């Protein structure tokens, strides 16, 4: 029987990683399960934790070359034509270590993807510990129009507008089941065949934007991306990135520019393109300071290191 491969990239979140892996252990699914942890040079004992407490997990220790590059260490193996047929995986779950799977949620998402044969990727309703929706769990692509509305602040002023609220689809019912442009890599369940067609992560993205880019390519191959608001997953969010906040902001704005240049710059007229790029520079300058701008937009080598839920059940 074809199975499910779960890929977790972890960086200095040992305790959350333990909770995440234990929630996988406590999940009951109807197919064989492979779990991979790629440790991105953690210094908090994460690798030792996996070896001692979760010996069934396949641990890979890597230099910190970014989220996409770390995932690709496993994804290339999963989609390799030379992989034995009896070890094939029908589905791949990209999962963050700062998530926790409520009992039954993993099986529900597997059932959901199976029941939608045209879906290449699906994601659940991600909820923060305080019960608030993680807005990133369902998104539109940052087209020039959508990006402009966000940079002008219109998406925040008019979150219920179907025109201005498209970035995070804030006009939708969080419990809705709907087709979207992208779900977030914190929990992205992918059909392996769609991944083979779309390809693995673009490693030019270091820690933001790579999931949007992958969803974009999955849809280009003719697959749908679906959001299932009927299933909840807890997301502590940002526990790794907040350890290096300035670096995280740096990579966030660099990813915005990279995604725009890769997918939209060539088809956008100059005045609007100038406004978008200028807006990214301005927001980056306000967040980081002007001294970072030249470095921010310098090309990067791929090898450079660099609320209907009862929340009493969430682990605290």
- pLDDT tens for residues 86-98? 678 999 999 999 9
- What pLDDT is attached to residue 102? 97
- What pLDDT is attached to residue 315? 47
Q: Of all residues in the chain, what percent carry a pLDDT higher than 90?
A: 67
Mean pLDDT for all residues in the chain: 88
- Of 177 and 281, which is predicted with more confidence? 177
SS3 302: coil
SS3 30: coil
Q: CA dist 111 to 104, 108, 180, 208, 226, Å?
A: 11, 5, 19, 29, 13
- What pLDDT is attached to residue 17? 97
In this structure, is the dihedral angle defined by the CA atoms of residues 24, 56, 39 and 219, taken in order, positive or negative? negative
For residue 183, give the nearest of 147, 141, 227 by alpha carbon: 227
Is the pLDDT at 314 greater than 70? The verdict is no
Is the pLDDT at 309 greater than 60? The verdict is no
| Domain definitions of the chain by residue range | 3-243+306-313
Of 11-25, 54-68, 250-264, give the lowest mean pLDDT range. 250-264
- Of 309 and 233, which is predicted with more confidence? 233
Instruction: Give the predicted TM-score (pTM) of the model.
Output: 0.87
Average pLDDT over residues 163-169: 94
Average pLDDT over residues 37-56: 96
pLDDT bin (cut points 50, 70, 90) of residue 306 is very low
Q: Which residues of 78-108 are buried (b: 16+ CB within 10 A; e: fewer)?
A: bbeeeeeeeeebbbbbbbbbbbbbbeebbbe
Q: Of all residues in the chain, what percent carry a pLDDT higher than 70?
A: 88
- pLDDT tens for residues 109-163? 999 999 999 999 999 999 999 999 999 999 999 998 998 888 888 999 999 999 9
Superfamily of domain 3-243+306-313: Spore Coat Polysaccharide Biosynthesis Protein SpsA; Chain A (3.90.550.10)
Task: Judge contact between 137 and 127, C-beta under 8 A.
Answer: no
Q: Report d(CA 131, CA 23) in Å as an integer.
A: 19
Q: Report d(CA 24, CA 28) in Å as an integer.
A: 8
Is the pLDDT at 270 greater than 70? The verdict is yes
> What count of Cα atoms within 13 Å lies in the side-chain half-sphere of residue 248?
9
Q: Report d(CA 141, CA 35) in Å as an integer.
A: 30
């Amino acid at each position: 029987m074809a199975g499910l491969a779960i890929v977790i990239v972890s960086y200095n979140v040992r305790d959350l990683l333990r909770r995440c892996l234990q929630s996988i252990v406590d999940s009951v699914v109807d197919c064989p399960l492979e779990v991979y942890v790629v440790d991105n040079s953690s210094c908090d004992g994460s690798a030792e934790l996996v070896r001692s407490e979760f010996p069934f997990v396949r641990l890979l220790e890597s230099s910190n070359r970014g989220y996409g590059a770390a995932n690709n260490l496993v994804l290339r193996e999963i989609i390799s034509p030379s992989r034995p047929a009896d070890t094939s995986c029908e589905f791949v779950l990209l999962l963050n270590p700062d998530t926790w799977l409520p009992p039954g949620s993993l099986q529900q998402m597997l059932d959901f993807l199976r029941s939608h044969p045209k879906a290449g990727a699906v994601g659940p309703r991600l909820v923060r510990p305080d019960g608030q929706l993680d807005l990133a769990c369902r998104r539109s692509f940052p087209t020039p129009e959508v990006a402009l509305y966000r940079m002008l602040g219109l998406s925040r002023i008019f979150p219920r507008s179907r025109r201005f609220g498209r970035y995070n689809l804030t006009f939708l019912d969080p419990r809705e089941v709907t087709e979207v442009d992208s779900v977030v890599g914190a929990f992205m369940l992918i059909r392996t065949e769609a991944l083979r067609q779309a390809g693995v992560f673009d490693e030019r993205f270091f820690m933001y934007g790579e999931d949007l880019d992958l969803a974009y390519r999955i849809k280009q191959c003719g697959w749908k991306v679906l959001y299932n608001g009927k299933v909840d997953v807890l997301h502590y969010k940002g526990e790794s990135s907040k350890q290096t906040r300035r670096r995280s902001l740096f990579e966030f704005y660099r990813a915005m520019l990279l995604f725009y240049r890769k997918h939209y710059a060539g088809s956008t007229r100059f005045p609007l393109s100038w406004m978008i790029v200028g807006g990214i520079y301005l927001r980056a300058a306000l967040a980081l300071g002007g001294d970072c701008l030249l470095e921010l937009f310098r090309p990067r080598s791929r090898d450079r290191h660099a609320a209907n839920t009862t929340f009493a059940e969430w682990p605290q």
